[in-house]
Amino acid sequence: MTGPFSLAGRRVMVTGANTGIGQGIAIAVAAAGATVIGVGRSAMDETAERIDTAGGIFVAVACDLADPAAARAMFEAVETAEGPIDGLVNNAGIIRRADAVDLTETDWDAVIDTNLKTVFTLCQAFGRSAIAARRPGKIVNIASVLAFQGGIRVASYTASKHGVVGLTRLLAGEWAANGINVNALAPGYVESNNTAALRADPDRSAAILGRIPAGRWGRPEDMGGAAVFLLAPASDYVHGAVLPVDGGWLAR
């Protein structure tokens, strides 16, 4: 496979590749020709099977991404074992729902550590390796439409996703001259574990669906093509962009 959207010969790390958006991105990245290194705490057997069946290559790596130090050690170990990482997709994330007056410090810290601190830690490890080797690379951080809005009952999640956008822009500015592209996707309301509670609430689900111009919830595979674009040569002059993939949610 060749061309501006080919990832042939590249190694791409995708965190949280066991299900949902991470799985959709991992499958698309493998179909574009990359070796996918899936990282997460949960088993990724289904993702591995789907990629293997399609003729792709998937390497599963176990790591508790709630621990930034463990994430850094994992990244370094993977590069030693598998070779340099050409692309990094920071997808793994958690959510805690509660009214702001009731959100606990424990839940705040858990979300910020996983969704923001570990994202920075992995970006930093990637950047240090690539810059030292004078090697180009691509980072795609997964933000959210709540990086543009406040939402309700998800204070720590909203704060983390605003942070991801700021971090993406900061790193893009620092590393563009080194040939490292740092961009982000901002998914809308997608069928995933993180939205299970919303989809189970008939009133909330109907309200959300009624605002999406595309007329449906997003699916994990909807994120795949956008991620491939931001990892491929087609986006070599794209730095610091935040691409909404939201069925038109933000446009309405």
Question: One of 58, 120, 126, 157 is an active-site residue; which one?
Answer: 157
Inform me whether the pLDDT recorded for 1 exceeds 80.
no
> Of the given ranges (18-27, 77-86, 191-200, 233-242), which has the lowest mean pLDDT?
191-200
**pLDDT value, residue 41:** 93
Q: What is the pLDDT of residues 83-137, one digit of tens each?
A: 999 999 999 999 999 999 999 999 999 999 999 999 999 999 999 999 999 999 9
Sketch out the chain's domains with CATH numbers. 11-244 (3.40.50.720)
CA distance 92 to 160: 12
Q: Which residue has the tokens 């601190």?
A: 117
CA distance 252 to 247: 10
| Active-site residue, 157 included | yes
For residue 61, CA distances in Å to 13, 15, 16, 168, 205 come to: 10, 9, 10, 25, 34
